[in-house]
Structure 1
Amino acid sequence: MTIPAATASFHGIWPALLTPLKPDLGIDLHRFGLHARALVHAKGCGGVVPFGTTGEGPSFSVDERRDAVDALVGEGVPASQILVSTSCAALPDTLALTRHALAIGAHGCLMMPPFFLKGVSDQGVIDCYRQVIDGAADDRLRLYLYHIPQVSGVGLSRKVVETLKRLYPQTIVGIKDSSGDTAHTLALADAFNETLMVTAGHEPDLPELARRGSTGAVSGLANFMPHVVQRLAGRPDAPNTPHDVSRVRLLLAMLGPYALTPALKGIMAALSGEPGWLRVRAPLVALTTDQMHTLQHALKPIALDVDVD
């Protein structure tokens, strides 16, 4: 694989940040910044990704998201190590967040198609991306496509990816496939790995992607087990890789009965001793006390390689 010049700085693990909340359900900006800074500076992550689906991005306003990204920079996270998820239901909001990311010098933007209307055509999806890219009108923009159809209800077909890459060869630099469909993810890598950074949200797929030339990953589990995820993405043929894959599969199976973000926040609360991590924005619902007890009991045999601040 020849890594595109625009994505040469995308390497290593980029946690899809969970968003800590205060009792009033506003963003806990200080804890948000401390968490991101620890991941980048103390735990060796390549960067961080705020306000994706793991981070409840669509549940926060444009102003909240801008202020929180500014807080990350204020806490010492280099803007060049922030990949901002700018996805919103309304394109003007996506454009506003994209312009803000450009203004602070962020690494790039991660964008899924507008997700309110369903049954849209490939042309409609292409038009959405074109309006944001043309509206930003900035050659510095580096855009990562975000495919998570089980959440957004709107997928990215191969035609959409090919068309956008042809129209904006310097702007479209990567795609994050969080479909959980291993065959689809590997097909994307085989089709585009010469020109795009292809990464997966399903951590067990990372070793095979690495064998196909991927140099990084965006991962929700990396909020609390970055070293394990780093091994999966960076050392696919190491002797302990099958064991790490088995542990991650066991963890994901354990999380299956729960809504993912509340469960991940439950793990953060359990490992850090900070119950504030449990808070989520509606329509998500925080884990109950009984669910937390069950979760903590189930975590014991997994032996997570963790170091939570």
Structure 2
Amino acid sequence: MTTPPNTTKAAAFRGIWPALLTPLNADLSIDHTRLAIHCKSLLARGCPGVTSFGTTGEGPSFSMTERKEAIEKLIGNGILASQIMVSTSCAALPETLELTQHAVKLGVHGCLMLPPFFLKGVSDQGVIDSYRYVIDRMGEDLPKLKLYLYHIPQVTGVGLSHQVIRALKQQYPDTILGIKDSACTTAHSVGLAEAFMKDLTVYVGFEPDLPEMGRRGSTGAISGLANFMPRLVSRLVTQPDAPTTASERERVIQLIDLLGAYSLMPALKGIMAMLSGDPTWLRVRAPLVALSAEEFKSLERTILAFGINPDRD
């Protein structure tokens, strides 16, 4: 059954907020200049905002100091705070709290937050208590916090059950605005939409599911592929029944299948290096390993054959 779009959640984000790749200097520090240039390019191509330090952005590989400085420099380099979503997820709750307070004080649109992801097999109550730890300590900044729950259990080993989502929304109805579901399972995303879309916006990170979720009221996405094909990703969710949607969805599936031969984040950075002609995009932080010269040449041949059109995609 199709759920009509919820028109009461004006505060929740709309459109495509790319899950930013993080460019690095030779010493593997963050390249703030390239990051700002990349953000401005995406905003110029129609993205309402960008998302920093999520899974695609290697977020947990950077320290609190680095992550704070990066957001401050993005704003200093001309990106509006309201155009930035920050993943403030850390394994240690006090660090998640500190990053969230910092982001909210800067005036960012919102914060994307994982459950703590070091300990596994924790109970629903433990997950609820973890979010409560952060939210209840926001103090005077709580009314400004827009929080998006982030479900990606294949990476974290800790998921967000319906019970957790329902309890948090009931306790913090003005704070919890949405859910990012990156479990990459259509049935799971549809189940979230059927259970919560009337009260929350459910977004998916798996691009082939965007048309189905768009029909069910989803209004946008935080997408890794949107680093280099933001217009196509936007069309999938905002125009789910357009004549071109089926073929564009199949094109995205083909690209994801092609990338399956590589480690995902290094491959996404490889595409950026190829499209920009800038090999510095190949750099990643451990534990990720950059593409070898042979792997990059193979990826380049694959992507050239596939074809990415910056003016259309």
2:23 and 2:31 in contact (8 A); partners too: yes
1:268 aligns with 2:272: yes
Q: 2: distance between equivalents of 1:186 and 1:32?
A: 34
Structure 1 vs Structure 2 CA RMSD:
1.2
| 2:32 match | 29
| 1:123 match | 125
Q: Residue 187 of structure 2 is aligned with which of 183, 188, 198?
A: 183
Q: 2: distance between equivalents of 1:4 and 1:82?
A: 22
Which amino acid in 2 is paired with 1:242?
A: A
| 1:110 match | 112
1:210 aligns with 2:217: no
1:194 aligns with 2:198: yes
User: 1:158-177 residue pairs with structure 2 within 5 A?
Assistant: 158-177=162-181
Q: How many residues align?
A: 306
Report the secondary structure of 1:30's partner residue.
Answer: helix
Which amino acid in 2 is paired with 1:221?
A: L
Which amino acid in 2 is paired with 1:201?
A: G
Q: Residue 259 of structure 1 is aligned with which of 260, 263, 271?
A: 263
Structure 2 segments unaligned to the other structure (5+ residues) = none
| 1:2 match | 6
Q: 1: distance between equivalents of 2:8 and 2:54?
A: 24
- Decide whether aligned partners of structure 1 residues 4 and 90 sit closer, same or farther in structure 2, where only a CA change above 3 A counts: farther
Moved more, 21-30 or 298-307: 298-307
1:303 shift after superposition: 2.1
| 1:57 match | 59
Identical aligned residues as a percent: 60
Which amino acid in 2 is paired with 1:87?
A: S
Q: 2: distance between equivalents of 1:298 and 1:35?
A: 23
Which amino acid in 2 is paired with 1:50?
A: S
| 1:98 match | 100
1:301 shift after superposition: 3.1
2:9 and 2:200 in contact (8 A); partners too: no
1:4 and 1:173 in contact (8 A); partners too: no
Report the secondary structure of 1:284's partner residue.
Answer: coil
Q: 2: distance between equivalents of 1:119 and 1:109?
A: 25
1:307 shift after superposition: 5.4
Q: 1: distance between equivalents of 2:130 and 2:186?
A: 27
1:302 aligns with 2:294: no
| 1:39 match | 42
Q: 1: distance between equivalents of 2:183 and 2:166?
A: 18
1:38 shift after superposition: 1.6
1:7 and 1:173 in contact (8 A); partners too: yes
1:277 aligns with 2:281: yes
1:143 shift after superposition: 0.4
Give the TM-score taking structure 2 as reference length: 0.95
Report the secondary structure of 2:112's partner residue.
Answer: strand
- Decide whether aligned partners of structure 1 residues 81 and 249 sit closer, same or farther in structure 2, where only a CA change above 3 A counts: same
Q: 2: distance between equivalents of 1:5 and 1:133?
A: 20
